[in-house]
Amino acid sequence: EPEVTQTPSHQVTQMGQEVILRCVPISNHLYFYWYRQILGQKVEFLVSFYNNEISEKSEIFDDQFSVERPDGSNFTLKIRSTKLEDSAMYFCASSPHYEQYFGPGTRLTVT
């Protein structure tokens, strides 16, 4: 059964550094999403992406965040200058229509 994959599984970075989180959505899906979950808290929407452009973004998704679909398979989330409060689990999801299927997540630790 096709799955969403994410790399790396765990990323440790220093405050102020740039990180790129990578996702490979399920191949025939059209909608892509990034969510984050700070430890012990609810899952929060960051951004949705359709037809090679952002369709919706949350207040969290400020200028330090960007997304890209550089080729036909990858979907990336870039954080330009990481802050301590960016430490969280980042989930990628993809959807053929209304159901969203999540990847295993990338645990980002900012020190």
Partner 1 sequence: AQTVTQSQPEMSVQEAETVTLSCTYDTSESDYYLFWYKQPPSRQMILVIRQEAYKQQNATENRFSVNFQKAAKSFSLKISDSQLGDAAMYFCAYRSAGKGGKLVFGAGTILRVKS
Residues that bind partner 1 (CB under 8 A): 31, 33, 35, 37, 41-45, 48, 50, 55-56, 58, 89, 91, 93, 95, 98-102, 104-105, 107
- Minimal CA–CA distance to 67: which of 77, 58, 57? 77
Q: What's the min distance (Å) between Cβ of 44 and partner 1?
A: 8
What is the rounded distance in angstroms from the CA atom of residue 23 to the CA atom of residue 1? 17
Residue 4, token pair as written in the block: 């969403």
If the CB atoms of residues 14 and 53 are measured against partner 1, the closer one turns out to be 53
- Do residues 4 and 34 touch, judged by C-beta distance below 8 A? no
Alpha helices by DSSP H, listed for the chain, are none
Q: What's the min distance (Å) between Cβ of 21 and partner 1?
A: 15
111 Cα distance to chain centroid: 20
If the CB atoms of residues 58 and 76 are measured against partner 1, the closer one turns out to be 58
Tell me the residue length of the chain. 111
Q: What's the min distance (Å) between Cβ of 69 and partner 1?
A: 14
If the CB atoms of residues 18 and 56 are measured against partner 1, the closer one turns out to be 56
Q: What's the min distance (Å) between Cβ of 29 and partner 1?
A: 11
If the CB atoms of residues 41 and 81 are measured against partner 1, the closer one turns out to be 41
Residue 8, token pair as written in the block: 């790396």
